[in-house]
Amino acid sequence: MKKFLVVGLGNIGPEYAETRHNIGFRVADQLVQDLGGSFESQKLGSVAWTKLKGQSIVVLKPNTYMNLSGKSVNYWMQQEKIPLEQILVITDDIHLPFGTFRIKASGTHGGHNGLRHIQETLHTAQYDRFRFGVGAEFGAGKQVDYVLGQWTAHEQIGLAIRMDSAVEAIKTWALEGSSRAMNRFNGPMPEPGV
């Protein structure tokens, strides 16, 4: 039986709950709900131990705030004895149009502070990541306000459509590998009714 670590990045606290920067937490919540698990407050994060077709999936929401995410990821990797190739980090991405998925086997942090800290802490960028596009509808100097801003009503509808696909993408990643997940799920959000 393989064991996987799925990490949803975000910031703790009710003021951040519905922000674009917390899409990692939101996807993690949906995954755990789908798998019939529940989060427990643990050292450096909220953790859920779940099962999927005989595989063990540990789902983590770090409580270190985004900029120190690597501390929590590293701790739970060691605690659960999960190798680097069985880790998936879910994060928001302003470089992708809203609702677009980009699953990658490795890559740069792309300016994302959560990924930057994970890379610095693990001393490698060779881990899988699931980038969830949040768009870039902001003016010069307004990036922080945008990612820490609330979803619009239109975006909330789009998110509801995309959440099931996000969970299916993670399941495919765990059961069939990152290449299969990329081929099936990378790309823009489908139009309603398609």
Catalytic amino acids? 21
Secondary structure class of 38 (helix, strand, coil): coil
Q: Where are the beta strands (DSSP E) in the chain?
A: 3-8, 40-42, 45-52, 55-62, 87-93, 101-104, 128-133
Tell me the C-alpha distance between 102 and 96, whole Å. Answer: 8
Per-residue burial over 2-25, b = 16 or more CB atoms within 10 Å of its CB, e = otherwise? eebbbbbbbbbeeebeebbbbbbb
